[in-house]
Amino acid sequence: MKETTQSYKNAARSVISPRDIRGKIEIHITEDAGEYTYTSDSFIDGSKNSYFKQLFDGITEVPMWLSPEKGRLKLDGSMAVPAYYGDNYKYGVISKSLSDSDGSINFNIVVKFTSEHTSNGITLIFAEPVQEVTVMLDNRIHTMSDINSTECYVEDEDAFSTLTIKITKIEQYRRVRLNNIFIGQILQYDDDKIYSMNFIDEIDLKNESLPSCELDIEISDSDKEFNLLNPTGKYKYLKQKQLVIPYIGIKTGEEVEYVQMGKYYLKESTSGNKIATFTAYNIIEWWDSEPYRESVIGTSTLYDMLDNFLSGYEHEIDSELSKITVNSYIPVCTRREAFRLMLQAGNCIYRIEPSGKIIVNKHKELVNRHRYINYAGESVAGTFYTEIESKTLNGSITADNILEEYPTITQTTPYASCVVNIYSYTVSSKSETLYSGKARIENATYENGKYKVWIPYDSAPATQISINVSEYKAYADGCYVYITADTDVVITGKKVEVGSTEYLVRKYNYDNECSVDNVLVRSETVANDVAAYMLNDYGITAELDYRGFPYLDTGDEILVETDFCEQNFYLTKHTLNYDGTLSGSMEGVGKANE
């Protein structure tokens, strides 16, 4: 369930008065910074509080700090000495000095990029307003005065490789807090431009597949910014995997509270009849195009495997997974498939918070509840309630929020038995040549002055690898070598024979068997846990159309009012449709009443 105020949830659920729903979208037509160097003596350096790399991380959330400045205590982020809130906190760059009594300050940064950039400009995001800013792209100077803004955009379509930022005026007795540098522009649209936003969020509790989340947008393109025939349009700066951030707002009292719905990445766009359409997906979809090669022969806790896999992302992993020991080898596959195998081996579900943080938890079996909930002892939808439970209340779908009379309930036949393959590995006693040939730098990734080249073994998997180059990273199916030119490479190691046996668990005496083929399963203990999870009695499904609650996430436990009672389900598919109003549909799985 997304974090919102209770007022937001109450307004979303309200049937007493019409809901005032708003929409907002950010489309980041930006590009990655790539490799760069920087020079500056203006910000606090050599301190764990200043993370220059955060300027290009795309995370725009700005924390507010309590700290003293010039004898004043404020909640606006000003500080005499920056406090330390942890390595993953958003600090950005903080100036060494304070501005003087008229707001004057001397703050300079020079960034030199390894590769030339061609975009439609530069966007700077600050934690506190700035008033005078100068941006130089190579030798082209752009000056902004009296802006009093936390966001500055410089439009410039020419190529550049050097970026210079100068801040000369802010509020008095303050520090410059630069949070983000975007190479490109952040486009923002609200209700005046948005025709529709459609969200599709889905999970597979049994991890037989790994669905991605989809966002479809239609906005007004009356200015023909995205028309392919417009020579000055913005379509030429659109690229796959650019960030799209949607928000849904609800009026709570006199204010509109907006909730970020997630982070999506652009896949395709079209324009016609003065309407621009965009389709974007969450990060799972993009893992389909990224290979996973970094596994080795051996064993690991599932916690450590997931922690290593998600190391490039902010994440949180259930500590219970440190008790599960699995094989550490996964044959080369997509990152999406590797993540699915890890989830399946631990009977896990995952969710991605709106900030992009990935959370993995061991799934907790649904405890069947088919009772009425309460609402402060009052009647809701004609039912008398005698208890109160806030979390359940927010996840309850009562008849007055359902667009049909009652949900459609379907009974399914649970699996009766499950066969799980248990994998083992035998290492050869002798070392032999796994590859002999040329490592070529053509089309290779350039990192830290060297080319990173992947070389698959002629026979895999293998272990105890030796290579005749000075810098390499060896894995079970191949290795990365780091070279400056085409190089003759010889790789030796010990081949590994892969074996498997079947492990059967039967729960019912009828024919409806499932199978799990997961290379991470190495023991009967893990196999038994996986099989037991697959045989969970989620024998009923619910489908319904309803008014739409933006704060719900797949994986949430919901309580749905049916003809006879309120039945609990795990939410497995959730769609929201915004077109000035809000509606949705949902699917869930649950247990039949015993």
Tokens 């895999």 identify what position? 460
Question: 223: which DSSP letter?
Answer: T
Cβ atoms of 381 and 398 within 8 Å: the answer is yes
Which range among 18-22, 341-345, 493-497 shows the weakest confidence by mean pLDDT? 18-22
The β-bridge partners of 489 are 437
Task: Give the integer Cα–Cα distance in Å for 163 and 437.
Answer: 42
Query: Region 160-178: what's the mean pLDDT?
Result: 92
Which of 14-18, 277-281, 546-550 is predicted least confidently? 14-18
- 3-class DSSP state of 594: coil
Angstrom distance (rounded) from CA 238 to CA 282: 17
Q: What is the pLDDT of residue 16?
A: 81
Query: Residue 129 carries which side chain, given as an amino acid letter?
Result: P
pLDDT-wise least confident of 224-233, 297-306, 579-588: 224-233
Mean pLDDT, the chain, rounded, equals 87
The pLDDT value given to residue 391: 46
Per-residue pLDDT, 76: 54
Higher pLDDT, 204 or 402: 204
DSSP structural state of residue 375: B
Tokens of residue 249, six digits: 């707002």
Residue 377 predicted with pLDDT over 50 = no
Least confident residue range of 275-279, 319-323, 401-405, 491-495: 401-405
pTM as predicted? 0.86
Q: What is the pLDDT of residue 593?
A: 63
Least trusted range by pLDDT, from 10-14, 87-91, 541-545? 87-91
Give mean pLDDT, residues 161-187.
92
Per-residue pLDDT at 87 exceeds 70: no
pLDDT at residue 186 is higher than 80 = yes
Residue 393 reports pLDDT greater than 70: no
Q: Is the pLDDT of residue 162 over 90?
A: yes
Q: Is the pLDDT of residue 106 over 90?
A: yes
